[in-house]
Amino acid sequence: MLKPSSEPLELFDQESTRATARVEDLREQIEKHNRLYYEHAMPEISDSEFDTLLRELADLEKAHPELANDDSPTRKVGGKPLEEFAPSTHIVPMQSLDNTYSPEELREFVTRVRKLAEGRPIHFTVEPKVDGVAISLLYEKGRLMRAATRGDGVTGDDVTQNVLTISNIPHKLHGQIPAEVEVRGEVYLPKAVFAQLNTERDEDGLPPFANPRNAAAGSIKQLDPSITASRRLSAVFYGIGAWTGEQPATGREMLAALQKWGLPISERILEGSDEDSVNAAVQQMDALRHDFAYETDGAVVKLDSLTLRREFGSTAKAPRWAIAYKYEPERAETKLLDITIQVGRTGTLTPVAELEPIFVSGSTVSRATLHNAEEIHRKDIRIGDTVLVEKAGEVIPAIVEVRKGLRNGSELIFEMPKQCPSCGSFVSKDGVSWKCTNPSCGAQVRRRIEHFASKQAMNVEGLGEALVSQLVDAGLLKSIADIYTLQREALLHLERMGERSASNLLAAIEESRSCSLWRLLNGLGIPHIGITSARDLANRFHTIDALSTTTVETLLSIHSIGEIMAMAIHAWFQKPENLALLESLRAAKLNFGEADTPTEATSNRLEGTIWVLTGTLSQSREEVAETIRLLGGKVTGSVSKKTTHLLAGEDAGSKLDKARELGISILDETAFRQLCG
């Protein structure tokens, strides 16, 4: 008698083993990318690549139910809260959305919802999918009490102090408002601000942000609210969590209520009632979205009836009544005509791709940054290549692919110039960058003066890019110090410069002489030094003279200063040309710190203390925070176990409650002044 073959069982075992291994591998990859995306705002792969991994895992779990479990990334939302921020539990959990790139799957979604409705009339809204950071705001009696990130969907990070710096988020709602309401939306970095921010980072030799979403995520999670404020974030709102009292009947009515209260909503919301009209609205949104102030990566389709939303409910991860349709990144093919060089204020040479003009993502593109020579070499980009161009974050054009199969042999390999294209001086390699060695280079001088006069530094109103170029070309400005030698008569000879403009400029220059030390330190353009580190240096050393003679070891004792920064600061003060600049500025009677150091600062009265500010204070929070810093203390945005003191003004909210729970010392303004002496 023949024995039955064991081959089918062996094949089944092999397939099961392969599936188990692949599921484990996928979960490990997805968890890693979730951490990078949600917790560090530094994704290594695109959204579409991540979605492909997640879809493969979901398909394997469906084919092998024995491998599915509640800890799978297919059933979880976002990332864990960060330790640096106090945890905040959402009253109603924040879920993510199922998504698709396929019109056919979108039709299937509409069909599924129609079946759930069992013949009842249904209607859908189609909204832009804002690519920002999900946020939940809790308003009690109309007053903003708490702001939290999505986190893991149940608990997020308390970022109230940072959200209070966002100009279009109201601290108090107006009109008829529920006693308690959770409002859901996205914090985003406007595309124009993102472009400017990356330009500044290029000038500083810092790596550019990959996209506005990363920049927004990094900004909202800053420990120093002043940094968040400097990033000029905005927000848009689209939904609710908890809501006490009678709720609207539809999503459209809910959005109208948000708008009446003073909350910004999407400027375009389209509609559909069946498979065809919903698909048409999604495609229409694709054509409209390039004109929005924020980056979008898709459209969100929602059932309009709030009653049916509650009835249909959710899966473990996402609602059954909504889906996100993701647009494929828009790319265009064009010719790389040349690679030119831009010279920044620190002398960094940045290669720029000169392209045959092409229309992509709503505008004509003719240039794209290439960042550095290593980037060009890594992608093997050659002059004359046919390339694919994509707007990074729909803002900054980038070459994402070279069509090497279309090469004909005439393409030229790019080499960085041995001499500066602006002044002809020799260039030297500094890490991944090449730099002009001539500090008097015209291009560098222009960029340095523009930075020195900017709002983030000495705030010389009127001394912008166009006027700086005129002054440098006319030989009136050869260094930063020359700003303080400008004469009215010379200014009046410039194009479009009248008596009033000259007077205003000279008045602004005069006012800048008394700027705080941190502004001067930021304006000097010391490598790697920005607003926060400039403040920390000013608070620690109080004068430029003290800073200029300090050691690397002392610099490293400052929490915001790392080894590279410490060495750069120390090296800057060793260069004769920089010391000569400081002497020129001293002769021009600029404040080197003596004018803004209070006598109490030398006592380090608040050294070792960590403060949180809440409620309405008699001074601006920045003024109070500056006092704390000058007395040796630190200021953070949220209450945690590390907090030592809470300064509570009128209408103090949830932070006061948390401070009481943790046994933190709570002071009013009178007690604070007494403590400060």
Element (H, E) at 368: strand 363-369
Q: Distances in Å between the alpha carbon of 280 and those of 35, 131, 266, 273?
A: 35, 22, 19, 11
DSSP of 622-645, one letter per residue? HHHHHHHHHTT-EE-SS--TT--E
Strands (E), 393-448: 396-402, 412-413, 427-430, 433-436
In the set 76, 129, 191, 435, the catalytic residue is 129
Rounded Cα distance, 629 and 140, in Å = 32
3-class DSSP state of 528 = coil
Rounded Cα distance, 676 and 633, in Å = 11
Kind of pairing, strands 396-402 and 412-413? unpaired
Rounded Cα distance, 439 and 458, in Å = 21
Look-up: residue for tokens 């008698």? 1
Please tell me the total number of residues recorded for the chain in this structure: 677
DSSP designation for 75: G
Terminal C-alpha separation, the chain = 102
3-class DSSP state of 44 = coil
Longest dimension (CA), the chain: 115
- 129 a catalytic residue: yes
User: Taking a C-beta distance cutoff of 8 angstroms, is the pair 673, 638 a contact?
Assistant: no
Q: Distances in Å between the alpha carbon of 220 and those of 238, 245, 627?
A: 19, 31, 24
User: Taking a C-beta distance cutoff of 8 angstroms, is the pair 17, 9 a contact?
Assistant: no
Element (H, E) at 142: none
Rounded Cα distance, 491 and 474, in Å = 10
Give me the active site residues, please. Answer: 129
